Amino acid sequence: MIYVKNLEDEVYLQAYRQSLANRGGDSALLDQAIEMNLLRKKRTQELETKKAEQKKASEQIGSKKKKGEDASSEMAAVQKLKEEIKGLEESFEEAKNSLDSILLQLPNKVHESVPVGKSDADNRVERTVGEKPSFAFAAKAHHEIAEAMGIVDFERASKVAGARFSFLLHWGAKLERALMNFMLDLHTDEHGYKEVIPPYLVNTESMYGTGQFPKFQEDVFHIKNFPFYLIPTAEAPMTNYYRDEMLNEEDLPQRFAAYSSCFRSEAGSYGKDTKGLIRQHQFEKVELMTFVHPDKSYEEHDRLTQNAEEVLKRLELHYRVSTLCTGDISFGAAKCYDIEVWLPGENAYREISSCSNFEDFQARRINTRFRPKGGGKPQYVHTLNGSGLAIGRTVIAVIENYQQEDGSIRVPKVLQKYLGTEILK
């Protein structure tokens, strides 16, 4: 959420209008916010004036009554002022609520280093790591290999739940669990994150806090007759972990590695990625979440991204890192790096992590601040998150990159201690 005082800063507004244009939007909502803010300020001033008049008139009534004089005209004036104040208070609340509603719909201002573009075709590749594997046979897609091995069952999952669900069986389930343990061990033991298993249900306030609501309400599952939503990512509960709390500067940064199931309706994805595990209603993920000092957030952004990359490096998987352009970046992010792993069965790169810096956009929505060491006014923290990694897509990457001609799968060295074997067959 943008800082309301910035609505009166012409330099900021000029930059923000350009950011909106670069995102592919317009300034209509921003103009409404400016108008509502002016009305809110006007009503505040009018209320102060009327309340001062009311106080003065009340004092005159008291003075006249002490002297035994008639105060009926002053009493009538006070009554009229009360009615006017009531009307102004209602108008003020309407303007304030309208302003708050509009501010929740305005996206974050993108960082100046973000490339301007319209779609993912305009994203800027920052680096490519590792080599694509070569095969002496035609590489197969993960679902062909997995179904032939009997380690995934889409048909029965469709019967039990519906489309975009799966049963992982035997080595499929073991591989997913091994990846989860490997990722959590790496991030907690070597990268300094605190391991968390968060709630899988959150309330409405939490979804507004992260910026998923109001814009993306149709993308999540709502629990009927209850004020809860299934989390689309552990970002939802973890961002709200310190909601309405005041931290101390010396306690920053706070870093969490949260394992969870994630649930997405995939609204708008009809006909997309209908085969395999790529786009499921339910999937598992390890989410990296950090709360940091504003001066350190871009340093932390690079660190978090490197922590996510390390998973792929140790799995010896080829990948690339791109900076998302203004037309592809998410609603709440100021800057985002996408990590895309190479899938030989598709002959394509696929997103496996998005590492975002939200600056103070989410912190203002959730009211999470810190006290500076040397005293002074509390400041909003900066929040960052990224997948470390999406486990289902990592399963896909391992299957496709380590497939063998006989239909078996070699186990990456780093996973052999978790699986107790070198070959899955």
The first and second tokens of residue 212, run together, are: 């998923």
Question: Which pairs count as long-range contacts for 183-189, CB under 8 Å and 24+ apart, including other chains?
Answer: 183/257, 183/259, 183/286, 183/311, 183/388, 183/389, 183/391, 183/394, 184/257, 184/259, 184/286, 186/310, 186/311, 186/314, 187/257, 187/286, 187/288, 187/307, 187/388, 188/257
| Cβ count near 305 (within 10 Å) | 25
Selecting among 23, 264, 303, 369, the annotated active-site residue is: 264
Cα separation of 235 and 66, whole Å? 64
SS3 145: helix
Q: Which of 144, 147, 351, 410 is catalytic?
A: 351
Going along 328-375, which residue ranges are E strands? 335-343, 348-357, 369-371
Amino acid (1-letter code) at residue 14: Q
User: What is the spatial distance between Cα 327 and Cα 120, in angstroms, rounded to a whole number?
Assistant: 8
Helix 171-185 × helix 297-314 angle, to 10°: 140
CB count, 10 Å around CB of 323? 18
Burial, 68: exposed, middle or buried (Cβ in 10 Å; 0-12, 13-18, 19+)?
exposed
In one-letter notation, the amino acid at residue 314 is R
Contact present, 256 and 289 (Cβ < 8 Å):
yes
Active site (annotated) includes residue 8? no
Active site residue 264: yes
Exposure of 234 in the CB half-sphere (CA atoms within 13 A): 27
What pairs with residue 288 in β-bridges? 257, 386
Question: Residue 335: which of 289, 389, 384 has the closest Cα?
Answer: 384
- Among the options 354, 359, 387, 400, which is catalytic? 354
Which of 421, 266, 309, 327 is closest to 116 using CA atoms? 327
Question: What's the first-to-final CA gap in the chain, in angstroms?
Answer: 51
351 is catalytic: yes
Using alpha carbons, list the distances in angstroms from residue 107 to 4, 110, 174, 187, 337: 13, 9, 40, 30, 18
* Cα-to-chain-centroid distance, residue 54: 47
Residues tagged active-site: 264, 279, 351, 354, 393
